[in-house]
């Protein structure tokens, strides 16, 4: 999969799967990544998604001289297959709901760096399944990403814990069990 994307086999590959919109704050991610890649020559970033900011973000990639390190793939329908090429999922949003891509990344056993926006901090357990940083804080995002790339063993362990958490808390089975429990409690209250 890495070869198909033109990535070196020994690269540490970050990814974001998100619409190219202001709320996802790709610009902050690109600046943080540029700082990470200055310290870690193995670092690469794969950006999956499309949107109204595509041209301005391509301009930022050029401005940062990151053309050989940031790959913008556009929208893809094979993201599940691509996950084998990635080492860490990053979500840099400054506003968010409950990000399905975050849950999908965790289910794929990817460690996560996410901003404290919307439901991200409810999904990612800081220091256990990933690292949660303040939104729009480029230095903290940089440090979290650098930590992931320089601690690959610990990052993989976080990914394994993230997968377990996603299955335990956010799978269809877990959701159905929670609804069944809520209905049982409601029925028990009505019976009294």
- Where do the structural domains in the chain lie, given as residue ranges? 2-191
pTM: 0.88
Q: What is the DSSP string of 47-91?
A: EE---TTHHHHHHHHHHTT-TTTEEEEES-S-HHHHGGG-SEEEE
Encode pLDDT of 24-74 as tens digits: 999 999 999 999 999 999 999 999 999 999 999 999 999 999 999 999 999
Confidence of residue 191 (pLDDT cuts 50, 70, 90): confident
pLDDT digits (tens, 9 = 90+) for 62-113: 999 999 999 999 999 999 999 999 999 999 999 998 888 999 999 999 999 9
Confidence class for position 173, pLDDT limits 50, 70, 90: low
Q: Does domain 2-191 have CATH number 3.40.50.2000?
A: yes
Provide the greatest CA pair distance for the chain. Answer: 68
pLDDT of 177 higher than 60: no
């Amino acid at each position: 999969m890495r070869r198909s994307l033109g990535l070196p086999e020994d690269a540490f590959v970050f990814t974001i799967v998100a619409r190219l919109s202001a709320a996802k704050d790709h610009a902050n991610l690109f600046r943080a990544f540029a700082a990470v890649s200055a310290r870690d020559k193995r670092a690469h970033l794969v950006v999956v998604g499309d949107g109204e900011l595509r041209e301005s973000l391509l301009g930022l990639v050029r401005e940062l001289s990151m053309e050989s390190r940031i790959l913008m793939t556009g929208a893809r329908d094979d993201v599940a297959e691509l996950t084998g090429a990635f080492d860490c999922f990053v979500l840099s949003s400054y506003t968010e709901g409950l990000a399905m891509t975050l849950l999908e990344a965790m289910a794929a056993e990817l460690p996560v760096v996410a901003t404290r926006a919307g439901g991200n901090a409810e999904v990612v357990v800081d220091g256990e399944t990933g690292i949660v940083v303040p939104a729009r804080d480029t230095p903290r995002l940089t440090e979290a990403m650098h930590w992931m790339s320089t601690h690959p063993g610990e990052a993989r362990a976080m990914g394994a814990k993230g997968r377990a958490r996603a299955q335990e808390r956010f799978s269809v089975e877990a959701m159905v069990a929670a609804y069944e429990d809520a209905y049982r409690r409601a029925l028990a209250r009505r019976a009294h």
